[in-house]
């Protein structure tokens, strides 16, 4: 059985289940966003459940089938700002849909508030999907949310998603590792819990003081700190001409890639209109991108078109 046939068979099964339960996938896709709390299903046991689900890096078709199924059967969806409108259209019209995103400079919800919402809905007997961009376990505060659910004795599970770095690599053609240039890769958050703390710059640079085999460094949530990151790496011994790249809105049709070196990347960034989310990739792999043809991914009709 071909991959396409397998996927279509799975989707047909999902749609059959939906039609048997009185729901239509097509209706779900095109209904509005209104909901009525009185219509939300409450489980007979009185105890709900929570699924912490990765939505992937941006392209809605990178959603996993398990995440797809859970969205269709959710009573409540608490979603981040990185989740696309296409994915939100998969949520049943009768489900509670609530934005609980956080973004630098546009703070919305405290983490404790999000944890409380998950617990409160689950205690009402609801099936809760906590929908996060990328992969929940990669800089997604999944530990804090799991701890809150464990303390409240709420059953929960985690559904992985494609993290931004993996999606970026495929859609930009820049490999994360390459036997010639990079034997390992590091994912680093540029936004620490304590703003006064600093990442381990010396440790990052230790394997990257030459242009031989080295680490690939991928910085998440660092768009506003590109100049600082570059300066810190150079001050700890990394070569000023180390190649790097900024990838904005990875995997989306609006994806942009800016190539440069550590000593020039901040200036190049200032010449472009970059909205984020963006990744900073540092290492020789940025010099050898594969000639990927993104048109091949979009030439057939999308499930979301």
Catalytic amino acids? 80, 102
DSSP collapsed to 3 states, the chain: CCHHHHHHHHHHHHHHHHHHCCCCHHHHHHCCCCCCHHHCCCCCCCCCEEEEEECECCCHHHCCHHHHHHHHCCCEEEECCCCCHHHHCCCCCCCEEEECCCCCCCCCCCHHHHHHHHHHHHHCCCEEEEEECECCCCCCCHHHHHHHHHHCCCCEEEECCCCHHHHHHHHHCCCCCECCCEEEEEEEECCCCCCCCCCCHHHHHHCCCCCCCEEEEEEECCHHHHHHHHHHHHHCCCCCCCEEEEEECCCCCCCEEEEEECCCHHHHHHCCCCCCCEEEEECHHHHCCCCCCCHHHHCCCCCCC
Cβ-Cβ contacts under 8 Å for 104 (sequence gap 6 or more): 191, 221, 224
Q: Smallest Cα–Cα separation from 28: which of 59, 71, 84?
A: 71
């Amino acid at each position: 059985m071909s991959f396409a046939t397998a996927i279509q068979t799975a989707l047909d099964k999902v749609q059959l289940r939906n039609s048997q339960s009185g729901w239509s996938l097509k209706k779900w896709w095109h209904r509005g966003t209104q909901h009525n709390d009185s219509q939300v299903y409450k489980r007979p046991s009185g105890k709900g459940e929570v699924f912490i689900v990765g939505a992937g890096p941006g392209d809605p078709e990178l959603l996993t089938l398990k995440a797809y199924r859970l969205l269709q059967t959710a009573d409540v969806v608490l979603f981040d700002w990185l989740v696309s409108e296409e994915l939100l259209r998969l949520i049943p019209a009768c489900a509670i849909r609530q934005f609980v995103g956080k973004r630098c400079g546009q703070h919305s919800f405290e983490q404790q508030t999000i944890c409380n919402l998950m617990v409160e809905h689950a205690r009402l007997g609801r099936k809760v999907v906590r929908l996060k961009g990328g992969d929940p376990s990669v800089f997604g505060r999944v530990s804090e949310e799991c701890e809150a659910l464990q303390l409240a004795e709420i059953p929960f599970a985690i559904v992985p998603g494609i993290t931004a770095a993996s999606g970026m690599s495929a859609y930009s053609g820049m490999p994360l590792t390459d036997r010639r240039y990079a034997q390992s890769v590091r994912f680093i958050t540029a936004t620490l819990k304590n703003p006064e703390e600093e990442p381990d710059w010396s440790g990052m640079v230790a394997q990257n003081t030459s242009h031989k085999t080295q680490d690939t460094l991928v910085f998440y949530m660092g768009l506003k700190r590109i100049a600082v990151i570059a300066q810190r790496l150079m001050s700890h011994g990394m070569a000023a001409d180390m190649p790097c790249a900024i990838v904005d809105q990875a995997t989306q049709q609006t994806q942009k890639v800016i190539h440069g070196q550590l000593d020039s990347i901040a200036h190049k960034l200032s010449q472009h209109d970059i909205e984020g989310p963006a990744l900073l990739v540092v290492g020789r792999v940025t010099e050898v991108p594969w000639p990927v043809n993104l048109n091949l991914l979009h030439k057939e009709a999308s499930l979301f078109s």
